[in-house]
Amino acid sequence: MNRHVGIGIRIPLILISINVIGVLLGYGATMIVANSLAPVAFEHYITAVATLSLLSSLGETGFGKYALRIIPAYRGEGKAYHVRLYVALSVFSVIIFSALIAAVGYPIAIRLLDSPHPLTLRLAFLGMPLIALAAVAIDMWFAFLHPLFGVVLARIVMPATTFGLLITCIYQDLLSPMGAVGCYLSGSVAVLVVSALAIWQSNVLNQASTEPKSHVEKKSIARFFVQWWSWIKISSSYLQYYLLIIVIWRSPLVIASYLPHAAGDVAHLAPAFELGCLVSLIGKATDKYYQPILAEHLQRCRWRHVRVLMARRGRIVWAVVLVYLLTIFLGGPAILNLYGERYTVGYGWMLIIGIGSSAWTVCSFTSSCLLYTGKNQIFVTLAGLHILATFTFMAWLFPAYGPLGAAIAFTIPLLSLSASVVAFSMRRLRRLSKNLAQDWAYLRET
């Protein structure tokens, strides 16, 4: 039996535990900013960070996500040259594209947002390449099958650096919206530094190649740009997939920031939204761990192994989701109070958002089957329609009903998208599998 089929739950549980620590650090950082700044100043910080997070995802150009599939394949075939070339071109592409997005996006954001802190937004856009590069670096470690190191970078190194610098700024009485954004960017710098040191100390890029040296040298000169363009085209489909997911999660706060609203509405929505979406971070970590394994099984047409993998991931995530929902239901007001007493009004909004994010966390892994079996366009269509619905509901409900309207506008389309993705993904797997009855019998036995 393939070693991945017999995988237990030890590593996923370790990943979840590290994610919990990272969540506490990350949310602790936000709580520090919320308690230290006035609501209006906190709103400007949230706007800058939300805009930065959304646009930097576009600057990743899909290279990090495509790496989860292509690097394990290259390493398995002994193509070390292809691995090194892919990593080098990924770094180059991310720097170029994220810088272009920042250059184009900044003037537009300044025009749309009448902010008394333009330097805060400027710093956020200047740091966009750093955020994009750090995200790709983390994805690369998952692709190299070092998930523990990847999740430590994402959930310990990054938030701990930000948290520590925020504490220092408060101690020195230097905290401002711009300073808080600078602390946020410093987490990505720390990830890049640690990643560079780890690559230098390890042989992760120096796996022995089975390709003849002359063949490698010929390809490195004659087909350099052809290979680069080929990867850009393929990674663009992964960019579509992951960008749409990111838009689903991050666009509500960004849209709310640029829509007409009462002073402080976005500031009051932010903690509720952050806590309501908390469970998605844990689901994302488990998905990153399982996706390279899923890609290998799909490539080798191991349909029953795919179902076993999905079932085991589902059991872990369902347990986490139930604990999460119980926690926010019973302890939501107390948790929101950590941001400041004025933010406890968001308890109901948080519960609504938490229901939607929990549904997607349970169903998210099935969407990878569409991506890895050549049916990415199905997901793109479904997600595009639901994002359009979210935008429409936000434009209607947020100006009229404030944060409650934003919570409803986020949750209703997300519930519908979750159900739609599961239906289409299972239909796709049934069509691909030739021995469906046998596969399900195997699943019941496991």
pLDDT reported for residue 216: 46
Residues 270 and 225 in one domain: no
Res. 157 pLDDT band, cuts 50 70 90:
very high
- Are the CB atoms for 372 and 294 separated by under 8 Å? yes
pLDDT reported for residue 228: 67
pLDDT digits (tens, 9 = 90+) for 290-309: 776 777 677 667 677 777 87
pLDDT reported for residue 60: 82
Res. 11 pLDDT band, cuts 50 70 90:
low
229 part of a folded domain: yes
Burial of 176 (0-12, 13-18, 19+ CB in 10 A): middle
Residues 291 and 343 in one domain: yes
423 part of a folded domain: yes
307 part of a folded domain: yes
How many Å apart are CA 353 and CA 412, to the nearest integer? 9
Nearest in space to 25 (alpha carbons), one of 270, 261, 278, 243: 278
27 part of a folded domain: no
Range ranked top by mean pLDDT from 12-16, 45-49, 74-78: 45-49
253 part of a folded domain: no
From residue 215, give the alpha-carbon distance in Å to each of 204, 212, 403: 22, 5, 60
pLDDT reported for residue 158: 94
- Residue 193 predicted with pLDDT over 90: yes
Residues 104 and 210 in one domain: yes
Residues 164 and 121 in one domain: yes
Contacts of 264 (CB under 8 A, 6+ apart): 39, 40, 43
Q: How far apart are the first and last CA of the chain?
A: 13
412-441: string of b/e by CB count within 10 Å (b at 16+)?
bbbbbbbebbbebbeebbeeebeeeeebee
Residues 292 and 384 in one domain: yes
158 part of a folded domain: yes
Question: Residue range 419-446: average pLDDT?
Answer: 64
pLDDT digits (tens, 9 = 90+) for 16-60: 778 778 888 888 898 889 888 888 888 888 888 888 888 888 888
pLDDT digits (tens, 9 = 90+) for 371-402: 777 777 888 888 889 989 999 999 999 988 99
Residues 354 and 224 in one domain: no
Q: What percent of the chain has pLDDT over 90?
A: 26
291 part of a folded domain: yes
247 part of a folded domain: no
Number of structural domains (the chain) is 2
Residues 340 and 203 in one domain: no
Residues 231 and 329 in one domain: no
Residues 274 and 231 in one domain: no
Q: Which domain holds residue 83?
A: 37-237
Residues 143 and 177 in one domain: yes
Final residue before a domain boundary, out of 203, 237, 271: 237
Residues 127 and 190 in one domain: yes
Q: How much is the mean pLDDT over the chain? A: 81
Residues 313 and 197 in one domain: no
pLDDT digits (tens, 9 = 90+) for 94-122: 999 999 999 998 888 887 766 555 788 88
pLDDT reported for residue 134: 94
DSSP 253-280: HHHHHHS---TTHHHHHHHHHHHHTHHH
- What share of residues in the chain are helix, strand, coil (percent, to 5)? 85, 0, 15
Res. 7 pLDDT band, cuts 50 70 90:
very low
Range from 51-55, 357-361, 440-444 carrying the lowest mean pLDDT: 440-444
